[in-house]
Amino acid sequence: MCGITGYIGHRKAYPIVINGLKRLEYRGYDSAGVMMFDGDQMHLSKTKGKVSDLEEITNKETYRQEGNIGMGHTRWATHGVPNDINSHPHFSESGDLVIVHNGIIENYDTIKKELITRGYTFQSDTDTEVLVNLIEEVKKQEGCKLGKAVQIALTQVIGAYAIAVFDKTKPNEIIVARLGSPIAIGVGKDLGEFFVASDASPFIEFTKDAIYLEDEEMAIIKLGKEVKVRKIMDDSLVDANIQELQLSLEQIEKGGYDHFMLKEIHEQPKAIIDTYRGRMLADEGIIKMAGVDDNIEKFMNADRIIIVACGTSWHAGLVGEYLFEDMARVPVEVEYASEFRYRNPIITPKDVVIAISQSGETADTLAAIKLAKSKGAFVFGVCNVVGSSIARETHAGAYTHAGPEIGVASTKAFTTQITVLSLIALKLAKAKGTLSNSAFHMYLQKMQLIPSKVEKLLQIDNKVKEIASVYKDAKNCLYLGRGFNFPVALEGALKLKEISYIHAEGYPAAEMKHGPIALIDENMPIFVIATNKGHYEKVVSNIQEIKSRSGKIIAIVTEGDVTVKEIADHVIEIPDTEEALTPLLTTIPLQLLSYHIAVMLDKNVDQPRNLAKSVTVE
């Protein structure tokens, strides 16, 4: 939920740390701070606000030119409001130790009270300041080195953390540790330098070699030496597994677009191809997915499929429900991970649980997976971030291969998740014989055409912009869809509210008359998905009902539509495809619409208020 960067080596640390923070800002952006060590003193700058606010402060500091060791933090507040004092890094009581932390220490209050009785004082309201003082106290009591003190202290805390700690009295090392929050170490082999970050993006231009710590592991990073990785609980040494990064600098830059969100919307044709590349061989009529192939019996014999996810991924899960039930004739339940994990759900070893998560770090989804595993269910992950916690925690899985998604509002994650779910549903339907051979082949052929259809849709951007300009000042909006496009209505509403702060609701079109119809007047824009095969006549009746109450209708229809065009105030046409595949198309104009409205309202599209890209807290 927060972003951590650090550097120890021979280069100037400041530019590496500050640029790293800019790349990690998607993780949290309510306050930011840096610590730079000039060889003698630690210099601290921190502030409420964004990394750019921090830079205004650090621009005046001479330490920017000095020092080869530094660490930085961009925060999404948990304990203590966002203000200068609560921002990280935090010093220990003596001022010798400094820490940056991502996560939550749940028993911080008990530890804090104990430390107060030992004479410690606290400047901030954070759990992080408690942790750095606990480490200092252990170091004092045990008379040990920093690494050992960190290890002992961490056995006493309950919660989640990714931390980096530095001791100015032993300024040749940084200690990092992880439980529940990610941390990567970039290994600059030739120069004996090291980078620390919540993900690899801050150091991608310096090294392709990275070590990802596992839960309950810590690393002692010594300048010019090899990284030593240990288990926190039993202090045993672990082989430091150096992986070669596939990420490129280009992938994490805006590439000429004004915002990451717009870039990611436009990347969807390629992202969808990358998702099915090597898996779907349309001409041969084959879908190969190792994670499914190796466990096909489990899928075939499942009493039901339970999909767990949050937010946009949950909406993709709802599309999955329609796909699996329609094609593979298996009962599906789609659960908010946050509800599922706490309501004592009935799960049996005959259930297959599919966990969907772009980041692979969402705390509630991770907890739901652990619960399902403890009840004996087979758990399959659909993640975007390779090597993420959820990808590691699940029994098997399929990556979406969408590439890094940096805009906080999910776009290409959604369409690629639906692509993976479509492939699994089709594969299962074929294996079970619930879909005829000809229908299976037809779907593969139609799926192959989707990227070019998305490309074509992206070209109507100007039209969508025009519609956005008409409705940008609306106070409330309604999104309606049926069948496969009901989840798209939910997703359209979520996109609008999260980046433009306009209140929006998604509803199944037919439910409108059971309540939301009362909201309709001439000021209410209503986005209706009315594709030609999806209960078309019924949706047309819903549109008539809206019209007769003076609501403004923006309809998403199939190319060549005549009926809705006559009634609606605006229509956006999507290319024709099978109904089950329409969510991959209908969602595109809704993403563009939210984007343009947010830009017109001068909102921060990529970093909407109060949100963060990966929600690693409950």
Residue positions annotated with a catalytic role: 2, 613
Instruction: Answer yes or no whether residue 591 interacts with ligand F6R by CB under 6 A.
Output: no
Convert 12-81 into a string of H (helix), E (strand) and C (coil): CHHHHHHHHHHHHHHHCCCEEEEEEECCCCEEEEEEECCHHHHHHHHCCCHHHHCCCEEEEEEECCCCCC
Please state the φ and ψ torsions of residue 580, each to the nearest 5 degrees: -65, -20
Q: Per the structure block, which two tokens stand in for 332?
A: 């599906």
CB-wise, 313 or 485, nearer to ligand F6R? 313
Instruction: Answer yes or no whether residue 416 interacts with ligand F6R by CB under 6 A.
Output: no
Which 364-383 positions form the footprint of ligand F6R (CB under 6 A)? 365
Name the one range near ligand F6R by CB under 6 A: 56-64, 268-276, 304-312, 472-480.
Answer: 304-312
Convert 377-421 into a string of H (helix), E (strand) and C (coil): CEEEEEECCCCCHHHHHCCEEEECCCCCCCCCCCCHHHHHHHHHH
Instruction: Answer yes or no whether residue 310 interacts with ligand F6R by CB under 6 A.
Output: yes
Instruction: Answer yes or no whether residue 509 interacts with ligand F6R by CB under 6 A.
Output: no
- Pick one of 128, 394, 410, 485: the residue that binds ligand F6R (CB under 6 A): 410
Show the CA angle centred on residue 6, arms to residues 18 and 13, nearest 5°. Answer: 60
Instruction: Answer yes or no whether residue 359 interacts with ligand F6R by CB under 6 A.
Output: yes
Q: Per the structure block, which two tokens stand in for 73?
A: 């933090």
Name the one range near ligand F6R by CB under 6 A: 194-202, 207-215, 353-361, 549-557.
Answer: 353-361
CB-wise, 112 or 401, nearer to ligand F6R? 401
DSSP string, 226-288: --EEEETTT--EE---EEE----TGGGS-TT-SSHHHHHHHTHHHHHHHHHTTTEETTTTEE-
Q: Per the structure block, which two tokens stand in for 447?
A: 């799926």
CB-wise, 74 or 365, nearer to ligand F6R? 365
Name the one range near ligand F6R by CB under 6 A: 86-94, 102-110, 356-364, 419-427.
Answer: 356-364
Q: Is the N-terminal amide bond of 89 cis, ω within 30° of 0? A: yes
Instruction: Answer yes or no whether residue 614 interacts with ligand F6R by CB under 6 A.
Output: yes
Q: Distance (Å, rounded) from C-alpha 297 to C-alpha 316?
A: 24
Instruction: Answer yes or no whether residue 207 interacts with ligand F6R by CB under 6 A.
Output: no
CB of 411 vs ligand F6R, minimal distance in Å: 8
Name the one range near ligand F6R by CB under 6 A: 51-59, 164-172, 309-317, 538-546.
Answer: 309-317
Instruction: Answer yes or no whether residue 553 interacts with ligand F6R by CB under 6 A.
Output: no
Give me the residue whose beta carbon is nearest to ligand F6R.
311
CB-wise, 362 or 558, nearer to ligand F6R? 362
Instruction: Answer yes or no whether residue 409 interacts with ligand F6R by CB under 6 A.
Output: yes
- Pick one of 9, 311, 320, 525: the residue that binds ligand F6R (CB under 6 A): 311
Q: Distance (Å, rounded) from C-alpha 261 to C-alpha 410?
A: 8
Instruction: Answer yes or no whether residue 498 interacts with ligand F6R by CB under 6 A.
Output: yes
- The strand order across the sheet containing 3-8 reads 42-48, 31-37, 69-75, 3-8, 193-197, 184-188, 209-212, 242-244
Instruction: Answer yes or no whether residue 358 interacts with ligand F6R by CB under 6 A.
Output: yes
Which 312-331 positions form the footprint of ligand F6R (CB under 6 A)? 312-313
Amino acid letter for position 263 = K
Q: What is the three-class DSSP state of 174?
A: strand
Task: Please check whether residue 131 is in contact with residue 118, taking contact to mean a CB–CB distance below 8 angstroms.
Answer: no
Q: What is the three-class DSSP state of 546?
A: helix
Instruction: Answer yes or no whether residue 389 interacts with ligand F6R by CB under 6 A.
Output: no
Sign of the Cα torsion 255, 13, 226, 104 reads: negative
Q: What is the three-class DSSP state of 434?
A: coil
Task: Please check whether residue 542 is in contact with residue 514, taking contact to mean a CB–CB distance below 8 angstroms.
Answer: no
Number of amino acids touching ligand F6R (CB under 6 A): 15
Q: Distance (Å, rounded) from C-alpha 499 to C-alpha 265?
A: 14
Instruction: Answer yes or no whether residue 400 interacts with ligand F6R by CB under 6 A.
Output: no
Convert 312-366 into a string of H (helix), E (strand) and C (coil): HHHHHHHHHHHHHHHHHCCCEEEEEHHHHCCCCCCCCCCEEEEEEECCCCCHHHH
Which 559-588 positions form the footprint of ligand F6R (CB under 6 A)? none
Instruction: Answer yes or no whether residue 615 interacts with ligand F6R by CB under 6 A.
Output: yes
CB-wise, 359 or 586, nearer to ligand F6R? 359
CB-wise, 45 or 358, nearer to ligand F6R? 358
CB-wise, 87 or 365, nearer to ligand F6R? 365
Task: Please check whether residue 304 is in contact with residue 287, taking contact to mean a CB–CB distance below 8 angstroms.
Answer: no
Q: What is the three-class DSSP state of 138?
A: helix
CB-wise, 499 or 585, nearer to ligand F6R? 499
Q: Distance (Å, rounded) from C-alpha 236 to C-alpha 610?
A: 40
Name the one range near ligand F6R by CB under 6 A: 154-162, 233-241, 306-314, 527-535.
Answer: 306-314
Name the one range near ligand F6R by CB under 6 A: 178-186, 235-243, 310-318, 450-458.
Answer: 310-318
CB-wise, 420 or 520, nearer to ligand F6R? 420
CB of 494 vs ligand F6R, minimal distance in Å: 6
Nearest alpha-carbon partner for 500 in 481, 476, 522: 476
CB of 15 vs ligand F6R, minimal distance in Å: 29
Instruction: Answer yes or no whether residue 354 interacts with ligand F6R by CB under 6 A.
Output: no
Distances (CA, A) of 504 to 463, 469, 482, 524: 21, 17, 17, 10
Which 57-76 positions form the footprint of ligand F6R (CB under 6 A)? none
CB-wise, 373 or 549, nearer to ligand F6R? 373
Query: One symbol per residue from 457 to 496: x for binding ligand F6R (CB under 6 A), - otherwise; what is it?
Result: -------------------------------------x--
- Pick one of 133, 207, 357, 500: the residue that binds ligand F6R (CB under 6 A): 357
Binding site for ligand F6R (CB under 6 A): 310-313, 357-359, 362, 365, 409-410, 494, 498, 614-615
